[in-house]
Amino acid sequence: MSIIKDFLFQLTLVVIPIFIYYTFITEKVKSQKNKNIIMTILWGISIIFCMSFPVNFGDNSRLELRIIPLLLGTLYGGFWPGIFLSVIIILFRLSFGISIGFYNTVLVLLTSLPFILFFQRSFSLSKKDKRVKIAVGLSLFYCLSGLTIFCILRGFSYDFFKIQMVHLFLAVVVTWLFTILIEKIREIHQLRLEVQNTEKLRVISELTSVFAHEIRNPMQVTRGFLQLLNEPDLPKVKKEYIKISIDELDRANEIIEDFLSVGKPSINNIAKIEVGYQIERVVNIIRSYSLNHNVEIRTDIQDNCWIFANPQKLNQSLINILKNAVESMPTGGRVWVSCTATDDGFIKIIIKDQGIGMTKKQIDRLGSPFYSLKEKGTGLGMMVSFQIIHSFKGKIKVNSEKDKGTEVIILLPQIN
Ligand code: ADP
Ligand code: MG
């Protein structure tokens, strides 16, 4: 009984970092790197506590649930947190002296850590259900290798085997529960951020629609008069000034356009549309712009890809993305646009360029208002595109590599 009690105490030690992190840290700390460092330290403390209050049995044998902080810390943190936590385990075990138990610890780590690190990448790319499976599988593997190495080093004993089984059972069940718990908390957190974002956008949209109409009228009037001033016998330099003024007014108008479409879900004008047809149209619209930039656009379109959407909005988002693709290649190049139906009921549009690409940090900032690295950029194009795709219950993902190119993948629910 006391063994179970000891294991339950270990559980408390493992759950505390999770709650500290998600209650106090995620909201306060902004940089992902700092968050990672803090989380790793919390898991490290959890490991030290687990190892300080182990479940003792037999002659100098001990078991703890340290696998859980090690596993969750590595899976959610990555390579270096994994190495750091393993070093903590080894150093802390070493402080008890070099014994058979120490060798046991090192051997178990040497066999299981490579596997954990190997699966970490696919864990970070997977969805919730698969993550739970990976975590449980790795936990099971760790316990089994622990059990095998224990038996090899110290021989088999039925009593110890029973305790090892309790450990295995608890470790696996707790890994399962905690991974689900962390996933759930992350999901709620994400949802909250999204709600906050939508709320911000709603306010922006209300404010701008009021301003926009007021500003547009005088702008249109000015533009009209500028055009009237533009007589054929005007000196060249004055003509140039007029052209610049008109261009700038048009640019301001474009910004207002973008603003106006922010925050307005496209409930109206939703229709059944064929994505391929819309892509052809968009490519035609942007063709002269792309030729000016020495960019060739190639399409690969599957017929009969139907979705429910507002065609103007869809086109607007595609144009924004295509324009970025063209602008990312200052010396020209090629853009590929493809559209296919996936097996799981989505229409997948891929827009790929060979441009300057983005770093991970830049990708993360993509879609935030006014984030632009261009001299004349507005930083609204991607924000609007993200919003439009989400309003059609679609998903948008950006893969990019600096100096190699960018790939924007849009998934939209297919209808038949
Ligand atoms: P803008 O085009 O007005 O700058 P966007 O919201 O369309 O605003 O894009 C924001 C920023 O994201 C751009 O300034 C650019 O730095 C980056 N970006 C977007 N698409 C790409 C791309 N295909 N390749 C490289 N960088 C891109
Ligand atoms: Mg843009």
Query: Which stretches of the chain drop beneath a pLDDT of 70?
Result: 1, 58-61, 258-259, 261-268
Measure Cα distances from 306 to 315, 318, 401, 415 in Å: 15, 16, 31, 6
pLDDT of residue 125: 85
CA distances (Å), origin 357, targets 363, 370, 374, 404: 9, 19, 13, 6
Output the residue whose Cα is nearest ligand 1's atom 23. Answer: 325
Rounded to the nearest angstrom, the distance between the alpha carbon of 379 and the centre of ligand 1 is 7
CATH class of 271-413: alpha beta
Identify which ligand lies nearest to the alpha carbon of 335.
1
pLDDT of residue 54: 86
In angstroms, what is the span from residue 272 Cα to ligand 2's centroid? 27
DSSP conformation class of 23:
I
| Model confidence pLDDT, tens digit, residues 316-364 | 899 999 999 999 999 999 999 999 999 999 999 999 999 999 999 999 9
Helix/strand number for the chain, H first, E second: 13, 9
Distance 57 CA to ligand 1 centre (A): 61
**Both structure tokens of 274:** 């064929």
Prediction pTM value: 0.56
Q: How far is the CA of 324 from the centre of ligand 1 (A)?
A: 5
Residues having CB closer than 6 A to ligand 1 are 320, 324-325, 328, 353, 355-358, 366, 371-374, 377-383, 406
Say which amino acid occupies 288. S
Mutate to test the pocket of ligand 1, among 324, 371, 388, 406 (most ligand atoms within 8 A of CB): 324
Q: Which ligand ends up closest to the CA of 358? A: 1
- Specify the pLDDT at position 266: 47
The pLDDT, as a whole number, for residue 192 is 83
pLDDT of residue 285: 83
- CATH code that applies to domain 2-195: 1.10.1760
How many whole angstroms separate alpha carbon 389 and alpha carbon 310?
10
Q: Per-domain residue ranges for the chain?
A: 2-195, 204-263, 271-413
Q: Look at residue 230 in the predicted model and tell me its pLDDT.
A: 84
